[in-house]
Chains A and B, each alone.
Chain A
Amino acid sequence: MTRTNAISTQNSFIAGLKTEFTGLNFPENACTETDNCVFDPTGRVSRRKGFDEEENGINTFVTTKTNKAISSFQWSNAGGDGNSEVYVLQVGNKLYFYRSSSATVASPISQQWIYTINLTDFILDGGTAPDEFECQYSEGNGYLFVFHPKLNPIYCTYSAPTITANAITIRIRDFSGVLEEIDDSVRPPTTLTAEHKYNLQNQGWTSGASWSAVSTTGFAQMSTGVQTFTVAAGLLTPTAGDLVIIKGYQNFAPGRIQIVQKGGAVVSYAGTALEINVTSAQKLQNVIFSNTVDWEIIPVNTDYITEWFGDVGNYPSNSDVWWLYKNSSDVFDPATTIDNVTVGFGPAPKGHYILNAFDQNRASVSGIASITNLTTTVRPKTGAWFAGRIWYSGVDASFPASGNMPDATWTENLYFSQIVENVKQFGRCYQTNDPTSEDRFDLLPSDGGVIRIQGAGSIYKLFSIQNGLLVFAANGIWFITGSQGIGFTANDYTIVKLSGVQNISGTSFVSVLGYPMFWNSESIYTVSPGQQGNLSVDSIGAEILSFLDEIPLSSKKFVRGDFDPLDHMVKWVFKSTEETDITSRYEFDRVLNLNIRSKAFYPWTIGTDAASPKVHDVKFVESPGGSGAPDPVFKYVSSLGTNFIFSEENQDSFVDWSSFVPVEYESFFASGYALRGKGLNKFQENYINLFLQNDAEESSFKIQGQWNYAINEGSGRWSDEQVFTIGADNFSYKPKRIKIRGHGLVCQFRVTSNSTLPFTMIGWSVFESGNKWI
Chain B
Amino acid sequence: MDLKVATLEDLPLVRDMALKFLENTEYNKHFNVEKLTAVLEELISDGGSTKIVILCEDKGMIVGIVNPFLYGTKLVATELGWWVEPEERKNGVGESLLKAFEFWANKVGCSLITMISLDDELGQYYEKKGYKLYERAYMKEI
Interface residue ranges, A against B (CB under 8 Å) = 115-116, 118, 121, 161-162, 164-167, 250, 252-258, 285-290
Contacts and interface: CB of A to CB of B under 8 A. Distances in A.
B49 interface: yes
Given A162-B19, A166-B12, A287-B104, A254 B1 contact: yes
Interface in B1-41: 1-5, 8, 11-13, 15-16, 19, 33-34, 37, 41
B65 to A, nearest CB: 13
Given A257-B4, A285-B5, A287-B107, A162 B33 contact: yes
Contacts of B116: none
Given A164-B12, A287-B52, A288-B48, A254 B92 contact: yes
A288 B2 contact: no
Nearest to B56: A255
B95 A164 contact: no
Contact of A253 (B52, B91, B96, B104): B96
A255 B100 contact: yes
A177 B67 CA distance: 53
Interface of B: 1-5, 8, 11-13, 15-16, 19, 33-34, 37, 41, 47-49, 52, 54, 56, 91-93, 95-97, 99-100, 103-104, 107-108
Contacts of A290: 103, 107
A288 B96 contact: no
Contacts of A161: 33
A252 B99 contact: yes
A165 B92 CA distance: 29
A287 B49 contact: yes
A600 to B, nearest CB: 46
A254 B100 CA distance: 11
30 contacts: A115-B34, A121-B8, A121-B11, A121-B41, A164-B16, A164-B19, A252-B96, A252-B100, A254-B95, A255-B2, A255-B3, A255-B95, A255-B99, A255-B100, A256-B1, A257-B2, A257-B3, A257-B54, A258-B2, A258-B4, A285-B5, A285-B48, A286-B47, A287-B48, A287-B107, A288-B100, A288-B103, A288-B107, A289-B107, A290-B103
Contacts of B95: 254-255
A252 B103 contact: yes
Nearest to B34: A116
Given A252-B96, A252-B99, A287 B12 contact: no
A145 to B, nearest CB: 15
Nearest to B4: A257
Given A166-B12, A286-B47, A287-B47, A255 B104 contact: no
Given A115-B33, A165-B12, A255 B5 contact: no
Contacts of A252: 3, 96-97, 99-100, 103
A255 B12 CA distance: 22
Nearest to B8: A121
Given A253-B92, A256-B3, A285-B5, 10 more contacts: A118-B37, A121-B12, A165-B12, A252-B100, A254-B96, A255-B2, A285-B48, A286-B48, A287-B5, A290-B103
